[in-house]
């Protein structure tokens, strides 16, 4: 049986170094150059270079390239294909500290900043470095970010995927190439990849139960178009399950799931104003609504603005509950489900570190969301 292409590239480059084609300190071909030369993916050529680095033949310097190592450097255990007659440099992970890429849609005070903080703190504690690229929810930017970080030479990736029905083809390439990466906040159906996210379904159930306990029975659901975004789908499913468990019929007429202005690619004051008008009309059309469950914080802000414009007092006339909410001058404007963002970031880093170190099977980690009472919920009006 023919050996894998990455092993063949490894052996070819190793023999070139041993034969003197590349001397100490010389730059060897890059991932892209090797991929073009051998007609393979960048993931395959990267693996060959990683093996050469692990066996001490080369030093990988992020952003600069790979260079033939000094044979006088300390030795480490080999990881490449067996070669009983081997002689030459072996200095372990000669490329130095780990470099981890974080691809994230965006981050703000309400969501994302805590996650980034957790990843960065974990990388610092493990003497590693973090490179961040925002995609603003644009799949093409996501593709560019993944490609660019792979080209930079990152050892692993943490990805918060863009919303949408179709996953990025670059993510599929990572799966096929067994590149160490973990997704956060959401997962992609049918993709066997490591995931760290909140238990959105359980969180939504918890929030809905809280509104039921306050006497609310006609609860409106506000959200973006689901578009097969798993975090949104799971929250909706949790909302529905909570109704079933309490024996309360789900009234889908009270749902409004076409709020678009909170998505990074559609954010503008004009779209915000349009969404506020949508919510006002929805409340006017369905006056029996006594509470709103907003899928995310920024939608709750729009709902609050709509209520204010209609002269509705929150929470006396209308209760509002959402996921996530930043404190404002010591106040908690909205009752919300608080996600463990920092813990999520730390868990994602630990997961990708485990994949880098052992090539273990990817796992799915769920973190519980906590109900935090705020100023926006109260007893259902009689």
| Other beta carbons less than 10 A from residue 214's beta carbon | 17
Alpha-carbon torsion 296, 111, 344, 332, what sign? Answer: negative
Bridge-based pairing state of the strands 27-28 and 65-68: antiparallel
CATH number of the domain within which 190 lies: 3.40.50.2300
* DSSP assignment string, 107-135: -BTTTBHHHHHHHHHHHHHTT-EEEEEE-
Rounded to the nearest integer, the mean pLDDT of the chain is: 86
Q: Do 103 and 67 reside in the same domain of the chain?
A: no
- List Cα–Cα distances, 206 to 18, 21, 367, 382, in angstroms: 63, 65, 14, 23
**Whole-number pLDDT of residue 119:** 95
The answer to the question of residue 380 being in a domain is: no
Per-residue pLDDT, averaged over 215-239, amounts to 90
Q: Do 223 and 287 reside in the same domain of the chain?
A: yes
Q: Do 67 and 22 reside in the same domain of the chain?
A: yes
How does residue 138 score in pLDDT terms, banded at 50, 70 and 90? confident
Q: Do 125 and 158 reside in the same domain of the chain?
A: yes
Total domains present in the chain:
3
Q: Do 227 and 325 reside in the same domain of the chain?
A: yes
The answer to the question of residue 207 being in a domain is: yes
State which residues form the domain around 43.
1-96
The answer to the question of residue 375 being in a domain is: no
Read off the pLDDT of residues 77-122 as tens digits, 9 standing for 90 and up: 444 444 433 333 333 333 457 899 999 988 887 788 999 999 999 9
The answer to the question of residue 77 being in a domain is: yes
CATH number of the domain within which 79 lies: 1.10.10.10
Q: Do 171 and 263 reside in the same domain of the chain?
A: no
Please determine, for residue 192, whether its predicted confidence score (pLDDT) is greater than 70: yes
Please determine, for residue 222, whether its predicted confidence score (pLDDT) is greater than 60: yes
The model's pTM: 0.73
Read off the pLDDT of residues 274-298 as tens digits, 9 standing for 90 and up: 999 999 999 999 999 999 999 999 9
């Amino acid at each position: 049986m023919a050996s894998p292409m990455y092993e063949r590239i490894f052996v070819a480059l190793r023999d070139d170094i041993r034969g003197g084609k590349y001397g100490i300190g010389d730059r060897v071909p890059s991932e892209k150059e090797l991929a073009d030369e051998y007609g393979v993916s960048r993931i395959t050529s990267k693996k060959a270079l990683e093996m050469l680095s692990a066996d001490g033949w080369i030093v990988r310097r992020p952003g600069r390239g790979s260079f033939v190592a000094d044979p006088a450097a300390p030795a480490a255990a080999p990881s490449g294909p067996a070669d009983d007659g081997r002689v030459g440099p072996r200095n372990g992970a000669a490329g130095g500290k780990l470099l981890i890429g974080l691809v994230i849609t965006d981050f703000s005070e309400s969501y994302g900043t805590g996650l980034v903080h957790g990843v960065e703190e974990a990388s610092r504690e493990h003497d590693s470095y973090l490179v961040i690229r925002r995609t603003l929810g644009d799949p093409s930017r996501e593709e560019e970010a993944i490609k660019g970080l792979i080209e930079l030479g990152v050892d692993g990736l943490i990805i918060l995927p863009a919303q949408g029905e179709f996953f990025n083809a670059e993510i599929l390439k990572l799966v096929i190439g067994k590149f160490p990466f973990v997704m956060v906040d959401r997962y992609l159906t049918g993709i066997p990849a490591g995931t760290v996210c909140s238990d959105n379904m359980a969180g939504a159930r918890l929030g809905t139960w809280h509104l039921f306990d306050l006497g609310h029975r006609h609860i409106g659901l506000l959200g973006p178009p689901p578009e097969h975004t798993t975090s949104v789908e799971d929250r909706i499913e949790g909302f529905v399950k909570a109704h079933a468990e309490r024996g309360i019929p789900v009234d889908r007429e009270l749902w409004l799931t076409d709020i678009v202005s909170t998505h990074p690619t559609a954010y503008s004051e004009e779209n915000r104003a349009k969404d506020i008008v949508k919510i006002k009309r929805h409340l006017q059309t369905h006056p029996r609504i006594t509470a709103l469950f907003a899928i995310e914080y920024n939608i709750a802000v729009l709902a609050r603005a709509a209520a204010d414009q209609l002269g509705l007092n929150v929470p006396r006339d209308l209760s509002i509950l959402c996921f996530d909410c930043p404190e404002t001058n010591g106040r908690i404007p909205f009752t919300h489900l608080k996600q463990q963002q920092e813990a999520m970031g730390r868990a994602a880093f630990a997961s990708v570190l485990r994949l880098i170190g052992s090539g273990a099977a990817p796992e799915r980690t769920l973190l519980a969301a906590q109900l935090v009472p705020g100023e926006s919920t109260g007893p259902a009006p009689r």
